[in-house]
Chain A
């Protein structure tokens, strides 16, 4: 309690120093600056589409050590158990499910506008009290969005509460863990947010954003657009890979036609199938008449989904060395299988087609990246074949 009181006192002082007006003005400025980065039409049908979701999930990848990194929460105890192999395999499956849950993407929705909805006007009730009354329905089992919250104004009109009041009341009676009743200073002071971004604390800012704001709020859109724009300049995309924010980020870039930097990063890191997925996502969003579906299905047949890959990684500790141990060893040494080489060839063709088209903006850079990757791939392929020959393994 003492701490809270002190904090409130300090916050109060700061607010006084700054002036509420100024902060409001700065918010309005930020909104104007990011006006070009708003979703101009409802992104929901495209985002929730099953194919888009699959593409985004595949792009996000599933790196177990990143998803289950050690978190600094008050209780981060671990449990050690003895298990049979069957139990362990079951546990692995559950782990993958848990990881998928942790990678749930924040929904991408349009900004919700406040609509006035008056229930009744009673002029005979004018001046019945000197303040408003806010009534919240706390019936058990209701969801926050379907809870009825009404306001009786001092002039006697009864209306549904505006969004801001709704959020406040929901937070008051049904608090969301981690959300503050006041706006954190990180989001009110531009310089503090800028400092966070300059220090590349993207995940922290986005995590906080998801907790503090609802996805349909204008602030959520403005701040996330700001973070993604900064990220596009600093090119530290790997920080968000395998977090819940990678999908919305890729979707944002595809929507606003600035996928080239992300594409370059993917090619450089040898995530070619992700690059193909990103390109097809942007084709899909902008309805470019390029048939990407057969290529995607080909790739899907060759490449396992992130969940399958993670499961295989978990199960690999159980497997005993099989009869084709040498082949396996060669594959691990090079990091690629024959299927991967085949998939790379298909995706490289598709990417080059994209670079050649009018949609690519940073053609030279992308071409160079593709060229270097091709050379490296060729070397790897030669090495792979040479090793196979040397060990006398039949080409399967």
Chain B
């Protein structure tokens, strides 16, 4: 009796604590299911759902290819989930007390499973894949003013995702997939034309 009551109580408390986030996360999961139904690529996933009534929503062992992720970002399922906002705008961190800890959590996924109740914006939606080719996703994390990658204190990404994000952005810049303002190079003309100019005089 007692353990059951505690379980019920605990879940209730959890719901009240992060009702808004829970709602949003739920909508993400729903959107994801729609995406799975829409796209042909994760067909095996839908088969799994058919065979197994309740697939583990926290399972992250199935790696989604980047191409699927790029298509997902353009799909209607993505639109219904996030609307016109960035994937991180609706995310709020859970923390004790008034001030959030300086750093976000180390990782949301441990041993192929989501190990937390409030995974970060990238980890909660398995169809968001951080890769240098996925420029549309990367652009959401780049400041339009300074051109730098936004801090994790703003986006709420876990440390592992943030590292992967910075690496992907740097790679994308290296490949020229993301443009940035190249530092201005001032030429000293005399370095290239100096001798001839002197001879002329």
Interface on A for B, CB 8 Å cutoff? 2-3, 6-7, 10, 44-45, 48, 71-76, 101-102, 104, 106-107, 109, 143-145, 176-178, 180, 184-186, 189, 192-193, 195-196, 201, 204-205, 207-208, 210-211, 215-216
Q: Does B99 contact A (CB under 8 A)?
A: no
Which residue of chain B has the shortest Cβ distance to A112 in the bound complex? B192
How far apart are the CA atoms of A177 and B179 in the complex, in Å? 17
Please list the 3 inter-chain residue pairs (A to B) with the smallest Cβ-Cβ separation, ordered nearest first: A72-B147, A186-B176, A178-B183
* Nearest chain A residue, comparing its CB with the CB of B181: A71
27 contacts between A and B (CB under 8 A): A2-B163, A3-B167, A7-B167, A7-B174, A44-B193, A48-B189, A74-B147, A76-B146, A102-B184, A104-B187, A107-B189, A109-B192, A177-B183, A178-B183, A178-B185, A184-B174, A185-B174, A192-B175, A192-B177, A195-B176, A196-B176, A204-B176, A204-B180, A207-B181, A208-B176, A210-B182, A216-B192
For residue A208, which residues in chain B have a CB less than 8 angstroms away from its CB?
A: 176, 182
Give chain A residues whose Cβ lies under 8 Å from the Cβ of B186: 101, 104
Extra 14 A-B pairs, beta carbons < 8 Å, given A3-B166, A72-B145, A76-B145: A7-B170, A44-B192, A48-B196, A72-B146, A72-B147, A73-B181, A74-B148, A104-B187, A107-B192, A143-B188, A176-B185, A180-B174, A184-B176, A215-B192
CB nearest neighbor in A for B196 = A44
Q: Is the CB of B191 within 8 A of A106?
A: no
* B89 CB to nearest A CB, Å: 20
**Across-interface contacts of B148 in A (CB, < 8 A):** 74
Across-interface contacts of B177 in A (CB, < 8 A): 192, 195
Provide the residues of chain A in CB contact with B197, threshold 8 Å.
Answer: 48
Q: Which one of A177, A192, A207 has the greatest number of beta carbons of chain B within 10 Å?
A: A207
Interface residues of B (CB under 8 A from A): 143-148, 163, 166-167, 170-171, 174-177, 179-189, 191-193, 196-197
Tell me the smallest distance from the CB of A236 to a CB of chain B, in Å.
Answer: 15
Instruction: Determine whether the beta carbon of A107 is less than 8 Å from that of B187.
Output: yes
Query: A196 to B192, alpha carbons, bound, how many Å?
Result: 29
B185-A205 in contact (CB<8A)? no
Q: Given the complex of chains A and B, what is the CA–CA distance between A45 and B180 in angstroms?
A: 34
Residue of B nearest to A208 (CB): B182
Give A223 to B19 CA distance when docked, in angstroms.
56
Q: How far is the CA of A208 from the CA of B186 in the complex (A)?
A: 13
Q: Measured between C-beta atoms, what is the minimum distance from B183 to chain A in Å?
A: 4
Q: Indicate the member of A72, A189, A192, A208 with the most B CB atoms within 10 Å.
A: A72
Assembly CA distance A180 to B186 (angstroms)? 17
Inter-chain CA distance A47–B176, complex, in Å, is 30
Docked CA distance A377–B191 (Å): 46
**A48–B193 CB distance below 8 A:** yes
Which residues of A lie under 8 Å from residue B196 when comparing CB positions?
44-45, 48
Once the chains are docked, how many angstroms separate the CA of A53 from the CA of B26?
64
Which residue of chain B has the shortest Cβ distance to A144 in the bound complex?
B191
B94 CB → nearest A CB, Å:
27
Given the complex, which residues of B lie within 8 Å of A48, measured CB to CB?
A: 189, 193, 196-197
Q: Would B192 and A72 count as touching, CB distance under 8 A?
A: no
Residues of B within 8 A of A195 (CB): 176-177
Distance of A307 Cα from B143 Cα, bound (Å): 33
Contact check, A143 vs B191: say whether CB atoms are below 8 A apart.
yes
On whether the beta carbons of A204 and B147 are closer than 8 Å, the reply is no
Residue in chain B with minimal CB distance to A176: B185
- Residues in A with CB closer than 8 Å to B143 are 72
**Which residues of A lie under 8 Å from residue B191 when comparing CB positions?**
143-145
CB-CB nearest in chain A for B170 = A7
Contacts of A109 in B (CB 8 A): 192-193
Q: How far is the CA of A186 from the CA of B177 in the complex (A)?
A: 9
Instruction: Note all chain B residues with C-beta closer than 8 A to A107.
Output: 187, 189, 192-193
- Of A45, A75, A210, which is within 8 A of B185 by CB? A210
- Given that A44-B193, A74-B148, A102-B184 are contacting pairs, would A204 and B174 also be in contact in the complex, using a CB cutoff of 8 Å? no
Q: Which residues of B contact A75 (CB under 8 A)?
A: 146
Among residues of A, the one whose C-beta sits closest to the C-beta of B167 is A6
**Residue from the list B171, B176, B184, B187 in contact with A10, Cβ < 8 A:** B171
B148 CB to nearest chain A CB (Å): 6
CB neighbours of B163 from chain A (8 A)? 2-3, 6
